[in-house]
Amino acid sequence: MAKRSFRQPAPVPFPRSDEKGRPGPLGARAGLIFSVYDWGMPQSSPQSLPNSLFPSRDAAAATPAPAVRGAFLLVTCQGGAEASLCGRQEAVLPAVSKAAWRRGMVTFRLGDFDPPDDFFPDLIYARAVVRSLGQVSGASDHERVAAVRTLVTHTAWDTIHVWHRDRRLESQTDSPVDPLAVRALLLESYGKPASLPQAARPGDLVLNCLIDAADRWWVGWHRAHTPTSCQPGGMHQTELPGDKVSRAWLKLDEAIATFGVDLRPGQRAVELGASPGGACQRLLEAGLTVVGIDPALVDDRVAAQPGFEQWRMRARDVKVKNFRSFDWIVADMNIDPRSTLESIGRIVTAAGVKPAGIIATLKLPDWSRAKELPGWLDQFRAWGFSPRARQVSTGGREICVVAIKSRRK
C-alpha cells in the first residue's frame, strides 16, 4: 500500500485586545496594525480561534525584540515546494520580493515593510517564518557559535531553535550536524540552561539557527505565538509513537493542532481511505466514534477498538444516505486530488448529509499541481464550507485542507 486566480483572504485585522480588553498577541511593539496567522481566518468567522486558545504572555512583560530587526524574511518549506511558496507569497504578501532560495528555503527582501514580531502570514507551504539576521560560517561548531555572537548583538532570548533546512536532506548534507549539539552550545553561550524545552511558549522571543550546510548557518529571530511558530523550524513532532499504526496519526495530530480543530467526544467521523488506521486511531483518541472506509484492511489494533467500524469497500460504493449521521468527513485516499474532491462532493452535497467539517488530504502527483489549489478550495466554498490549507510538516507532497461548515448569514 502506498503510504504514505486564488480568492485570497486579505491580511487579517487582528484586535490589539480581546473582548475582555486583554492585550492581543502582537508582542511588545506598539503601533502594529495587523498580523496574519497561520489559520488565516477572519476574526468574525465562526471558525476563528479565540485568543485564549494560544494565549500570549503579558505584552508588557515580553522580552524586547532586537533593535536591529533584519531586512529579510527567511521562510522554510518542504524541499520542492519553493515555487508554490513563492506563488502564494505573491498572492498574500506582494509587499516583499524574493531574494535567495535553496531547496527548502526562500528569503524575501522586506523593503519598507516592517512586520510584527510574531508575523506568520498564511503562506500555506511555510513552516518557519523568521526575520533573518544573516549567515555565519566557520571551521567548527565553536567557531560558528562565536560568529553568531558577533553577528547578533542582541543577547536576550527566551529560547533557541536549531533545525535543518529540510529534514529529508539531513542524510544528504556533506557532514552530519546534530542540531541538538549546536543548540546546547548556543544555550551555553547565552547562559541558558541546557534543559530549556525545545518548544517555545507563546510570546517567547526566539533566536533561530537554521543549519543550511555543515559550515553554514542562517541566523534569525521571531516571536512565537501559534502552535507552528512555537516549534523549532515550525515542525511538528517527528517520531511516531510506538503504539500508532501509521504516520497518518501524526498528520492528523498536526492538522488538529495547527487549525485548532474542535473535535468533540461523542461526535461521529468517517474516513475515506482509512487503512491501516492511524488517522482513525487519532479520532478515536479524541473520543469520536469512527467508521473507516477502505477496501484494504485496517490494522487489528484499530479494528478492535470499541467505537470503530470498517466498511470494507471503495468510497464511491457507499450509498450517500449512509453518510447522514457524520459530524466529520475525513479523506486520505492515495488518488488524484480531483478524484478526492469528487468523492467528498458526492457526499457533502447529498440530501440530509450535514457534517460540521471536512479534513482532507490532497495528494499532489507533482508540485506543479499546487497551482490548482485555489480552484480546489473554491469547491469547498461552493459546498458551503470555509477551507484553510496547509502543507503540514509531517505530510509528504500533499496539502491538508480543513474546511468548516460556514455559518448562514
Ligand X SMILES: C[S@@+](CC[C@H](N)C(=O)[O-])C[C@H]1O[C@@H](n2cnc3c(N)ncnc32)[C@H](O)[C@@H]1O
Among 152, 248, 329, 370, binds ligand X (CB under 6 A): 248
- SS3 label, residue 186: helix
Q: Is 1 in the site for ligand X (CB under 6 A)?
A: yes
Q: How far apart are alpha carbons 13 and 408 in whole angstroms? A: 22
Q: Is 156 in the site for ligand X (CB under 6 A)?
A: no
* Contact string (CB under 6 A) for ligand X, positions 195-234, x = contact: ----------------------------------------
Closer residue to ligand X in complex, CB, 165/369: 369
Q: How far apart are alpha carbons 142 and 182 in whole angstroms? A: 9
Among 51, 275, 289, 386, binds ligand X (CB under 6 A): 275
* Segment interacting with ligand X (CB under 6 A) among 57-65, 96-104, 114-122, 277-285: 277-285
How many C-beta atoms lie closer than 10 Å to residue 176's C-beta? 10
Closer residue to ligand X in complex, CB, 205/280: 280
Residue with the three cell numbers 496594525:
33
Closer residue to ligand X in complex, CB, 32/315: 315
Least separation, in Å, of the C-beta of 365 and ligand X?
Answer: 14
Closer residue to ligand X in complex, CB, 179/273: 273
C-alpha cell at 262: 474542535
Q: Is 335 in the site for ligand X (CB under 6 A)?
A: yes
Q: Is 274 in the site for ligand X (CB under 6 A)?
A: yes
> DSSP for 56-84?
PPPGGGSPPPPSS--SEEEEE--TT-HHH
Q: How far apart are alpha carbons 269 and 263 in whole angstroms? A: 9
Least separation, in Å, of the C-beta of 297 and ligand X?
Answer: 9
Q: Is 148 in the site for ligand X (CB under 6 A)?
A: no
Compute φ and ψ for 24, nearest 5 degrees.
-75, -175
DSSP state letter for 54: S
| Strand ordering across the sheet containing 268-272 | 308-311, 289-293, 268-272, 328-331, 357-363, 398-405, 385-390
Give the list of residues 6+ apart from residue 94 with CB closer than 8 angstroms, or none.
Answer: none
Q: How far apart are alpha carbons 309 and 314 in whole angstroms? A: 15
How many C-beta atoms lie closer than 10 Å to residue 182's C-beta? 20
Q: Is 276 in the site for ligand X (CB under 6 A)?
A: yes
* Segment interacting with ligand X (CB under 6 A) among 20-28, 202-210, 267-275, 303-311: 267-275
Using an 8 Å Cβ cutoff, are 126 and 85 in contact?
yes
Among 209, 272, 329, 359, binds ligand X (CB under 6 A): 272
Least separation, in Å, of the C-beta of 22 and ligand X?
Answer: 39
Using an 8 Å Cβ cutoff, are 109 and 72 in contact?
yes
Q: Is 278 in the site for ligand X (CB under 6 A)?
A: yes
Q: Is 395 in the site for ligand X (CB under 6 A)?
A: no
Using CB under 6 A, count the residues that bind ligand X: 23
How many C-beta atoms lie closer than 10 Å to residue 309's C-beta? 14
Least separation, in Å, of the C-beta of 352 and ligand X?
Answer: 21
Among 8, 17, 334, 368, binds ligand X (CB under 6 A): 334
Compute φ and ψ for 400, nearest 5 degrees.
-95, 130
Category of 170 on φ-ψ map: left (φ > 0), alpha (ψ -120 to 50) or beta = alpha
Least separation, in Å, of the C-beta of 333 and ligand X?
Answer: 4
Least separation, in Å, of the C-beta of 357 and ligand X?
Answer: 17
Which residues inside 284-303 make contact with ligand X, applying CB under 6 A? 293-296
Site residues, ligand X (CB under 6 A): 1, 3-4, 246, 248, 272-279, 293-296, 314-315, 332-335
